Structure 1
Amino acid sequence: MSELDDQLQYFQTILQYLDTSGNLSLIKAQCEKYSKTKSLVFMFKLLIDPADLCEANANLGNLLLQDSVSVSNLFQQVVYKTVTVLELLPGEVTLSQVAVILRLTHLPTFHNVNTIHSASCLTRVFDLGSFCRLKGVVIGLSALTKYTLSTRYHCLDEDCEGFHGNHYIRVHSPGASETQTVRKDFKCAFCYCTLAEDKSRRTLSERLVAEVVPDNVISLLGHESERARLQALPVYIRDDLTRLVEIGEVYEIIGRTRKDIQEDRITISVEANNIKKVKMGISTRQLLQETPRNLLKLYRDRQKSPWSFVLTLAYLFGGDICPVGSYFHLKLVLLLSLMSRLDHKTKPLHILAVGGDVEMISRLLHFGLRFLDNTTSLTAGQSVTGHVTQDKYSSASYFVEGGVLHHAQNGLCYVGDVNILKKSAQQKLQSALSGGKVVTDVGSKFTGGLPHHMEQPLRARVWGYADPTPSKKTHQVLSDELFVTCKTGDTQPAILESFNIVCFSDCADSTSSEAVQAQTMEMTLVAAMLNDLTSSLPITAFDMIQFIKFASRLRPRFELEAESLIHSYYLSSRKSRSKAGDSTDVPVNADQTILSLAYSHAKLALRNEVTMNDALMAIYIYEQYLTARFGFSNLGIQPIPHVTTELLNYCLGPENDKRMEKFHASLLRYCSLTSSLEE
């Protein structure tokens, strides 16, 4: 009687839990959908929090973690009784036609016993036979394949009761292979004859295999100073969960280990029960507490000016790499790029730096890599958009291994010198930057028919550089016609067009260039003689990293006036420059680029709204880009690559505020004059 009492108590607890957790409403909503279609199996996916279930009934909660199949059967009986009593499904539905999948929302950690940190943990967790937890980044995906979710069997004897009705419904069990789900050795319970499958009633679903690298080694992927051999863990993902997975994203996976035997090879993998996307980082409150006091003091000191704080950050950025003030415009757009993100109005800012001192530019770009957690560098032998191979798990026709753009999702990808990339790599890079999508081509030899491609949004920022000096092998001007007053060397026009901002660090004023070179040489010599790595800057690189982490979590909203000003400038630029008869118009994506610049500037300025001042600075930066491209500025703007001591007040101080106010007046007048022109 004790077992019967326990079971009745389980039923009562499950019914109460379904009601209090909101799952009962989900069941009713799902039944309404099933009432409009004719189905063999009625599948119910329930969200279960083991902690809440343990509070309701400790024995039932422990049983869920240790023997989920038994608990699923208990939930199945309760759900079946509920839908029949409430008449939510047709009366002829049998228990075998109701299938329940329990999706765990959380998993308690038992001193990391059930947490997978590496491939060596799989065997230990498999021996436990319980749920496990894995957090990591997806580095590859197999093709979507079909598997049998459910099917119907019947007896071969027409006079037997097993020939009619839905007595034998076979539903896929978590961790089971296709051969275990669909078999030919089932026997009839009435006459013990062999059962036959009714293939017309077979229901198919989708599955894929993802390769996941645990989160404790994610940081090793993008840092050249640290090398490690990483072994990816195979994870089987099924049904609606397959639509949630993208290469390069970080997920927390709850599942069970499974063992597959293929010829002479035994593979232990993870069968996903539930997955959810996670964001790396710490809380905003903790970041604010760890934000350096000297940076907060600088922020308070610059409150009188809406632009001075951000400009001062750019002035001091990378001061240990090159003298403060040098490469000022490049540093400013790099900081804005670090703040950018993919949104419905904004997108990641991709920066191409062009200058004669490529070694210094490369060091500066490498310095920027340390400000984001997820960074990758394109090196020889690596793929830009991933490549396709035969599926090593024998579950699909092919497997897609992610490229550097996949691995840098929500982070930063450094591609180096774009001119030394292979032509195919340049084309893939240009296509990804222009279209905002990472496209991996799958050839016909893998599909068995027409070739197709796999794509996902590009959420990574891309940085690169180019030498403006053409090689001796180049006998024709490739892209000087795109940028009238600036040299771009051997860089292809399509590559230049694909980057949001092309920043030229060579100054037309030879005096400024010589001053920067002299300061750089002096800085290098002093550092070599003193051999002192202590920074003398008021804001160190560590301080800047903490600030960037905090500012990047802000989500400012656009003011209507700021957005309207950006749209007016965009339309006015296209109209006026088309009127002037230039062969190249303002880029079509300029509007979104300026919105992204304004959004990033507001985050750096620690504002909750993107104001007119942010829009004004974004337009000012983009007008410098157009000046380099067309050779003139409709607003009288001249690019300032470096800020020397003589220009300090002009670029950062009160004089800069007056200059920006005059620029604002000129901008409004410019938009008003061009509003009547036809595009």
Structure 2
Amino acid sequence: MELHCELLLYLDKRRYLGKMKDDCENFLESLTEKTVSKFPSLRCFLEIDVMDVIDVLPSLGELIIKEPLKLQKMCNDVLFACLRSIDVDNYKLVEYSQVVVVLRLKCVPRILCLPNPKRYKGLTYFEGTLLAKSESVSYVYHTVWSCPEDCEDSVNIIHYIPKTPPKCCICRSTMYENSGLRRCGDQVTATFKLKGDYLLRKFYIVDDLIPKLKVGLYYALHAIVGKSIIIWSLEKIKQCKAPMTHPVPRDLDVLYNACNRSPWKFIYCLASSLAVNVCPLNCFIQLKINLLLSLASIKANVLTNSNIIHVLATGFDTRFVGEIMNEAAKLTDKNILIGTSNTDVATALIAGTGGIAAFPLPLHAYNQKQIFSVLSAIESGEIMNETSKTKLKCAVWAHGMDFKKIVMFNVASVFGNVCRGDHGEFSDNIVEYLLQGSIEPSGITEDELRALKDISTYLSIVAGIEVELDKLPETLLRSYFLAARKERPRAVAISSMNSLITVSLTSARLCRRSVVTIEDAIFAIWLHVCGFPEPRFAPEEYLETPMNIRKLNKIMDGFKHWLEQFTGMSNL
């Protein structure tokens, strides 16, 4: 009885009782002599803030978590009492089973919900990414059954279709359904990739929850698990920006100051920490830099909706590029590897929302359908599936050399960002590294793990920074783009301009700046020129990635001098 009183007090305090009364009055006004005999259903939707209930009435909040069905029955009692309290002649003709309260929960504390137990009468919590939803179909939530002997008060109202017809409580005859009195709602089948599960799960989502479903988003599902799983409510999980006062990992702060706040020095040092167990420390630096920028762009896209940097690495078909991509992808919250067979590219790209979708094998190893599906998604920015289309919200990483199936320049124009993979320049270092590893096997150290964790934390911190493009860097990027298009129009696609701007913005974001400087623009142009197939615009000595960071300044100074001549701009 105390719980009933607490429920009434809470519903009255939050003005839910007034809503119930209004629904009851509207329902009774709609009743006529004809409609009363059809036993219509009164459904009242209530959205309850669970954290608010726990704060105001802890015992009632505990009831919501542990026995939600009992709470729903109590709400049904309250709604029926509201109906009876209205002085209208028709209320006597309405039965208790015609009245239903549909509870929707929000702000459910995850820590109080058990993670998917079986046959638990309390509230259960799931979370995962919505991969697909079916077309809307109807389902039955209100059926009316009558006795063939016309017994008095023998009408039975059930809120589903039973497997076997019920029997009359008076004469025990098998009842029949008045199919014309059915009440139906809308229902879709939603496919989720739940956290911690390898197999996909399908749930039925009904009525007012359907508009909340958007393919690719991450949801928290609150359900009751019995013979079947009933989804009571769902909420979108959205990552928030880190506050400006959030401390940066100390080692990275010291490193940034030691690099004189230079973007190419700082990003060079960060990138060299990636995949240290795959190749020597200073090998494939250009690839690692592009992967690091892509990681930063996808984290920023989640928070600020900025552009995403996709990566296409060209070079020999060796295992090192694919393994470096696999290791770098672990720094994101989600990473999906696309296989060569029985893999739906659209589903993989949706599952990788907010993370990385990588092609671990050379691109030519995949079939034509997979290749053109991913190229179409990158070019249009949309993923097409069977029932709907959604925006591409993941970064695509691919590599390869044999592009006989597709023209190289067409692939590069779609990706926009091309970098050098394995061209054989690191063969001696890799052979020595592998030989040393076979003699003295060593795994990744604690310092290396801590460095990777610091980088992942740092990327999350700077992801929320809004960056603007200043006038001088914009002029430099435009001048370079026009000069490059004039020099080699086929190799420099229109999408390259967007890639140059995105790389510049990401470089400034990694340096914790809100405005792009001329150094960020020069760094973006250097990466763009380095990714060109040979022969390239600039002299080769300006495009080499040095094994020592001290030589990087000399290379960048020489590249600046060449860029001044190439674009006609001075004092860079």
- TM-score, length of structure 1 as denominator length: 0.65
CA deviations over 1:542-598 (Å, ceiling 9, x no partner): 413332233234334445443x567656765676566x4966385344444334323
> What are the equivalent positions in structure 2 for 1:394-413 lying under 5 Å apart?
402=347, 404-413=348-357
> Residue in 2 aligned with 1:254?
222
CA RMSD of aligned residues (A): 5.2
Matches within 5 A, 1:458-469: 458-467=392-401
Q: Percent same amino acid among aligned pairs?
A: 16
Give the aligned partner of residue 230 of structure 2: 271
| 3-state DSSP of counterpart to 1:552 | helix
Q: Counterparts in 2 of 1:89-128, with a 5 A limit? A: 99-107=100-108, 114-116=114-116, 121-122=117-118, 126=119, 128=120
Query: Is residue 499 of structure 1 aligned with residue 499 of structure 2?
Result: no
1:52, distance to aligned residue in structure 2 (A): 3.7
2:368 partner letter: K
Deviation, 1:196, is 3.4
1:427 aligns with 2:424: no
Of the three residues 272, 279, 290, the one matched with 1:322 is: 279
| Contact in 2 for aligned 1:417/1:466 (Cα 8 Å) | yes
| TM-fit CA distance, 1:358 | 2.2
Shift of 1:355: 1.4
Equivalent pair of 1:67/1:130 in contact (CA under 8 Å)? yes
Q: Mean alpha-carbon deviation: is it higher for 73-82 or for 519-528?
A: 73-82
Aligned with residue 597 of structure 1, among 475, 480, 503: 503
The change in CA–CA distance for 1:134 and 1:560 in structure 2 (over 3 A counts) is closer
Instruction: Work out the CA distance in 2 between the residues paired with 1:519 and 1:362.
Output: 18
Amino acid at match of 2:53: L
Query: Distance between the aligned counterparts of 2:422 and 2:177, measured in 1?
Result: 80
**Aligned amino acid, residue 301 of structure 1:** A
Offset of residue 255 of structure 1: 0.8
| Cα separation, partners in 2 of 1:375 and 1:310, compared to 1, 3 Å | same
Gaps of 5+ in 2: none
Question: Matches of residues 25-174 of structure 1 in structure 2 within 5 Å?
Answer: 44-54=44-54, 56-57=56-57, 60-75=60-75, 99-107=100-108, 114-116=114-116, 121-122=117-118, 126=119, 128-137=120-129, 141=132, 143-148=134-139
Match of 2:521 among 592, 605, 616: 616
Q: Shift in Å at residue 374 of structure 1?
A: 2.1
CA 1:63–1:542 in structure 2 vs 1: closer, same or farther (change >3 Å)? closer
- Letter matched to residue 308 of structure 2: P
Pairing 1:381–2:341 present: yes
CA gap of 1:357–1:72, structure 2 versus 1, over 3 A, is: closer
- Contact (CA 8 Å) 2:242, 2:461: kept in 1 or not? no
Alpha carbons of structure 1 residues 337 and 58: separation in structure 2 relative to 1, 3 Å: closer
SS of equivalent to 1:356: coil
Residues 281 and 546 (structure 1), Cα distance of their counterparts in 2 relative to 1, 3 Å cut: farther
Question: What's the secondary structure of 2:45's corresponding residue?
Answer: strand
The structural deviation recorded for 1:419 is: 0.8
2: CA distance between counterparts of 1:414 and 1:375?
A: 7
Instruction: Give the C-alpha shift of residue 351 in structure 1.
Output: 1.1
Contact 1:255 1:272 in 2 (8 A): yes
Match of 1:235 in 2: 203
Cα offsets for 1:218-250 (capped at 9, x unmatched): 5xxxxxxxxxxx455543322343444466654
> Which residue matches 1:264?
none
1:53-86 deviation digits (Å, cap 9, x = unpaired) = 3554455444444553453354456568889999
Q: What CA distance in whole angstroms lies between the structure 1 residues aligned with 2:256 and 2:318? A: 33
Give the CA deviation at 1:256. 0.4
CA 1:45–1:346: 2 relative to 1, 3 Å: same
Partner residue of 2:389 out of 424, 445, 455: 455
Give 1:274 shift: 1.6
CA distance in 2, matches of 1:592, 1:639: 27
Verify: 1:540 aligned to 2:448, yes or no: yes
- Alpha-carbon separation, structure 1, partners of 2:92 and 2:504: 62
Looking at structure 2, the residues matched to 664 and 302 of structure 1 have their Cα atoms a distance apart, in angstroms, of 24
Give distance in 2, aligned partners of 1:434 and 1:258: 45
Q: Once the two structures are superposed, what CA deviation does each residue of 1:144-173 show, in whole Å capped at 9, x if it has no partner? A: 34234656869999xx999xxxx9997x5x
Tell me the amino acid that sits aligned with residue 179 of structure 1. Answer: I
Cα distance 1:49–1:328, how it changes in 2: closer, same or farther (>3 A)? Answer: same
Q: Is the 8 A contact 1:551 1:603 kept in 2?
A: no
Q: CA deviation at 1:321?
A: 3.2
Alpha-carbon distance in 2 for matches of 1:83, 1:613 = 71
Q: Deviations over 1:474-495 (max 9, x none)?
A: 7xx9636x3xxxxxxxxxx3x3
Question: Who is 2:161 aligned against?
Answer: 179
One-letter amino acid matched to 2:204: Y
Cα separation, 1, equivalents of 2:296 and 2:19: 39
Structure 1 residues 575, 15: CA separation in 2 closer, same or farther (over 3 Å shift)?
Answer: same
Give the CA deviation at 1:408: 2.5
Contact 1:315 1:324 in 2 (8 A): yes
- Measure the CA separation in 1 of the matches of 2:60 and 2:549: 70
CA 526–272 in structure 1, closer or farther in 2 if over 3 Å, else same:
same
Write the distance in 2 (CA, Å) between the matches of 1:518 and 1:597.
31
Q: Please give the residue correspondences for 1:256-655 in structure 2 after superposition, counting only pairs within 5 Å.
A: 256-259=224-227, 269-278=228-237, 291=249, 293-341=250-298, 342=301, 346-356=306-316, 358-385=318-345, 402=347, 404-415=348-359, 416-441=361-386, 453-467=387-401, 479=407, 482=409, 493=410, 495-505=411-421, 516-533=426-443, 540-562=448-470, 580=486, 584=490, 586-605=492-511, 607=512, 609-613=514-518, 615-617=520-522, 619-621=524-526, 623-624=528-529, 628=533, 633=537, 642-645=544-547, 648-652=549-553
Retained in 1: the 8 A contact 2:190–2:205?
A: yes
